[in-house]
Structure 1
Amino acid sequence: MPRPSAWPSPVPDQPVTLAEAPAKSAPLRLLIVTDAWAPQVNGVVRTLSTMAEMLRANGDTVEVIGPNRFRSIPTPGYKEIRLAIAPRRKLMQIVDAYMPCAVHIATEGPLGWAMRRICLRRNWPFTTAFHTKFAEYMEARARIPAAWSWRVLRRFHAPAQAVMAATPSLRRDLAARGFAKVRPWTRGVDLSRFQPEPREPFEGLPRPIFLYAGRVAVEKNIAAFLSLDLPGSKVVIGDGPQRAELEQRFPGAHFLGYRENGVLARSYAGADVFVFPSRTDTFGLVLLEALASGTPVAAFPVTGPLDVVTDQRVGVLDENLRAACLAALECSREAARAHAEAFSWDASMAQFRETLVRFNS
C-alpha cells in the first residue's frame, strides 16, 4: 500500500508524524499492541479480539500485534503465556509498514513497553488500557510488594492520552493511586452464544452445582471456593499453573479442563451458582457469561463483582463466600439473563472507538 503523504519516511528513534487521524465518522486505521493474544484464553484476549472484529465490521482497519509474531519465551510458572524477546526492532518495522493513524497499547508487557518507547521517541499520541491488577498478581505469585509494582504501572501509563478502565470502582481506585486521564470503557457479552438453554446436565454429580470457570492460577483465589463447606458438587472449568496443586488438595472437586464455544455455554447454563472467588480482577467477563446463561453469581464485594452484580436478584456479594453461595441458590435465573442483556459489545465498541478518535488526534 502506498505511504500517505501525511506520514514521512521513518528514521529509527527520530520523531515521525502519525498518519492523519480521521474524522469521527471516517474509517479508522488502528494499531493494537498487546502482550496478551491468541492462543492465550483470557478476558483480555476475548475483549481485544471482539473489538477488532467489530471495528472491522464497522469499516475500520485494525492490525493487532501480539507475541506470536516474535521470538518468545514462556512466562516463568505460566507456560501458556509467552513473552516477546527484544521485540523493538521488529516491532518498529511492522509499525512502519502498517502506517496507523491511531495506536492503542493494551498491556504492560515487553511489547507494550517497546511500543510505548517508539511512540514517545516519535512524539505519537497513544491510548492504553488497564486490564489486569499486575501489582496484586506479582505479590501473590512472586511476593513482590504491590507498592513497587504500582509505581511501575503509573510510570507506564503516565504518557498515555487516555487510560481506559472498565468499571467505576476501578476508575476510582486508579485515580486514588495517582493515575490521570482515566476514561471509561465498558464490556459486553455475546448474548447469542451464552443462553439459558441448552443446559449441561452434569450427569452423576449431586446437585446443586457450584461452578468456577476461568484461569486456574493463584491470583484467582480458587482455593477459597474449593475450601468451602457446600452441599452438592464443586466444578472447575479451565486450566492453568495451579491446577495440579488444587486437584491434589481438593480431590472431591471436579476439574473438567478447558471448554469452549457451545460446550462452555452449556456448562454455565447447567450450573446452579457461578462462584467468582477472585479479589484482583478488574472486571470479570465470566460474570456476564454466567448471568447471560441464567446462572446467579456468588462473589466477594470487590472491583468487578461490585460493578457487574448490581441487582440482588441476580447474585450475592459477601465477605462470607459460603453464605453468598448458599444465598445465590435463591436468586432468579430469569432476572440474571435480563441483567446481562444490559451489557452490550456494541456499546463497548462505540466507547472504545470514540476514545481512540478523540485522544489519538
Structure 2
Amino acid sequence: MSGMAIVDHRLRSVDDLAAPHACRLLEPDLTALRIAFVSGNYNCLRDGANRAQNRLVRYLLDRGAAVRVYSPTCENPAFEPVGDLVSVPSSPLPFGRKEYRVAWGLSRAVRADIAAFAPNLFHISLPFLHGSSALKLARHMGVPVVAAMHTRFETYPRYYGLGLLERPLLARLRRFYSACDRVVVPCQSAADTMRAQGMSENIGIWTRGVDPDEFHPGRRSEVWRREMGFPDTVPVIAFLGRLVLEKGLGVFGEVVARLRAEGAEFRVLVIGEGPARAEFEPRLPEAVFVGYQQGEALARALAGADILLNPSVTEAFGNVSLEAMACGVPVVAADATGNRSLVVDGSTGMLVSPGDIDGYVGAIRKYLENPTLRKEHAVNALVHSRAYTWDRANDGIVGAYFAALGAK
C-alpha cells in the first residue's frame, strides 16, 4: 500500500542485528498525515506508555506528519512533552490514585481546536472517558480511528477487591475497540488475547524498543553495588516498576519470603516509587529501595542486578523486562500478555504461571544455585533485546495508520 514502510526482518546471525541490511527501509511518506493524538496521560507521569507515546510523536513529526496531542495535563509534569500539547480539562482521580488525572469528556474548546486542526486520522490511547468522546467526535467528522492498547485495564479490579466489575469492564472495552477502524497492541500475545475476548479482528502490532546506548551490561558497577551493601558474590533479585498493587507486589513479597525461609542467599533491590510503597516496604525489611530512577541511573541499577522478577499480569508489553534483558539480566516473569511474547522461556529467562509461588521460587532457585545458567541466559537476553529498536517499533504503527485511511 502506498506510503507504507517495507522492512526486511530476515536476520541470519547476531552480527546481522547491527548490519546495514538488517532493516532495509523505503522511508514512508507521512507528510499527508494530520493526526489528532488523544492520550489519557501524555507526560504527567514517566512510565513506559507515556515514553512510547512521546517517542512515536517525535518519530511522526521528524517524518513530516502533522500531529496535535490532546491530553490531561498537570502543574508539575514528569517531563517536557514532544510536540504541540493541548490541555484537556481534568481533575485528580476522585479516590486513591491522586497522581492520575481524569477528563470526563472533551470540552467545547477542545472540540473546536480539533475541528480547526482538521485531522484526517485520530490516534486514541484511552478506551474510556475523553477517549470515548474522541471516538464519537471522529465518527461525527467521518475520520478514521486507530486505537492503541497500552495496558490490561480489565485485570485491575481484582487487585482492589472489585472483581465483580471485571465482566462489565470487558464489555465496555469490547464496545470501544470494536468501533475503531484499527487497533494496535505491543505484541502478538496481546493481539491473541484481544481477539479471544472479541475486542476486534483488525489488530496490528506496535511493539516497543530499547535504546542500546542507554541500557547495556557495561552499566554494571561493582562500586555502586558495594555502596548499596551488596556483596560481590551474592546475587541480587530486582523489582522494577511503579509501586502499585497491580504490578504484582504481593506475589513478589511472598516469593522473597519463601526464598528466605528456605535459606537461599540473595539480596533484593527495588527500583521504583508509588503509593503502595508504605505497604510494600515493611514486607521486605532487608531490601534496598532506591526509589524512582531514569536514564543512566536506571540502567546502572538494572545492570547491577542478577535477576529481574516481574510477576505483573497487567502489562501489554513489559518494558521493564526488555530493559533488564538489554542490560544482560535474565527475567523471571508471569506467563501472561507481554512477557509471553518477549521472554523466551528457558533461554532469556523463565516464564511462570501467574500467581504460582512455587513456580517462581523454583525458577529463581535455579538461577541462584547455577551461576553458569544465569550467565548463559544473561547473554541470550542481551542478544534477543537487540532486535527491539524504536524505529522498527514505530514503523509498525505506520501500517495501521495507512490501513485505516485506506479502509475509509
Render the CA deviation track for 1:207-242: whole Å, top value 9, x for unaligned: 211111111111111221122233321111111221
Q: Residue type matched to 2:385 in 1?
A: A
Q: Secondary structure at the match of 2:218?
A: coil
Say yes or no: does 1:134 pair with 2:168.
Answer: no
Alignment partner, residue 389 of structure 2: 344
The residue number in structure 1 matching 2:211 is: 190
2:90: which partner in 1?
A: 72
Q: Secondary structure at the match of 1:90?
A: helix
1:39 paired residue number: 44
Q: Tell me the residue number matched to 1:309.
A: 343
1:282 aligns with 316
Distance 1:240 1:108 in 2: 24
1:166 aligns with 2:171: no
Match of 1:324 in 2: 363
2:289 counterpart SS class: strand
Q: 1:90 to 1:252 in 2, by over 3 A?
A: farther
Q: Aligned runs of 1:118-157 on 2, under 5 Å?
A: 118-145=137-164, 146-157=166-177
Q: Which residue in the other structure is 2:401 paired with?
A: 356
What pairs with 1:83-122 in structure 2 (closer than 5 Å)?
A: 83-122=102-141
More helix by share: 2
* Mapped contact 2:219–2:327 kept (Cα < 8 A): no
In structure 1, the gaps of 5 or more residues are 1-23
User: Which residue identity is paired with 1:95?
Assistant: I
CA deviation map 1:143-176 (0-9, x unaligned): 1421110000011112111111122222111111
- After superposition, the C-alpha distances for 1:268-309 in whole angstroms (9 at most, x for unaligned) are 111101110102211111111110111110112222111001
Q: Which residue of 1 aligns with 2:16?
A: none
Secondary structure of the residue aligned to 1:32 is strand
Structure-2 separation of matches of 1:179 and 1:198 = 41
Deviations 1:163-197 (A, max 9, x none): 11122222111111112222222221111111111
Structure 2: 5+ residue runs without aligned partners? 1-27, 74-86, 260-264, 354-358
TM-score of the superposed pair, with normalisation by structure 1:
0.88
Q: 1:328–1:307: structure 2 CA closer, same or farther, 3 Å change rule? A: farther
Distance in 2 separating the partners of 1:39 and 1:196: 30
Partner of 2:268, secondary structure, is strand
In structure 2, the residue matched to 1:247 is 281
8 Å CA contact 2:89–2:107 kept in 1: the answer is: no
Q: SS of the residue aligned with 1:163?
A: strand
Q: Write the letter of the residue equivalent to 2:330.
A: P
CA–CA distance in structure 2, aligned partners of residues 114 and 142 of structure 1? 29
For 2:49 and 2:125, the matched residues in 1 are separated by 9
Q: Does the 8 Å CA contact 1:70/1:85 hold for their aligned counterparts? A: no
Over residues 99-149 of structure 1, what are the superposed CA-to-partner deviations in whole Å (9 max), with x where a residue is unaligned? Answer: 222211011232212211211222221110221111111232251421110
Residue 53 of structure 2: aligned partner? 48
SS at match of 1:307: helix
- For normalisation by structure 2, the TM-score amounts to 0.79
The equivalent residue for 1:271 is 305
Worse-superposed segment, 314-323 or 269-278? 314-323
Distance (whole Å) between structure 1 residues aligned to residue 281 and residue 270 of structure 2: 10
Checking the alignment, whether the CA contact within 8 Å between 2:35 and 2:123 is kept in structure 1 is yes
Which of residues 197, 201, 206 is equivalent to 1:177?
Answer: 197
Alignment of 1:180-219 (within 5 A): 180=200, 181-200=202-221, 201-203=224-226, 204-206=229-231, 207-219=234-246
What is the CA distance between 1:26 and its match in structure 2?
Answer: 4.2
The alignment partner of 1:255 has SS state of strand
**CA separation of 1:36 and 1:324: change in aligned 2, threshold 3 A:** farther
Match of residue 30 from structure 1: 35
**SS of alignment partner, residue 80 of structure 1:** coil
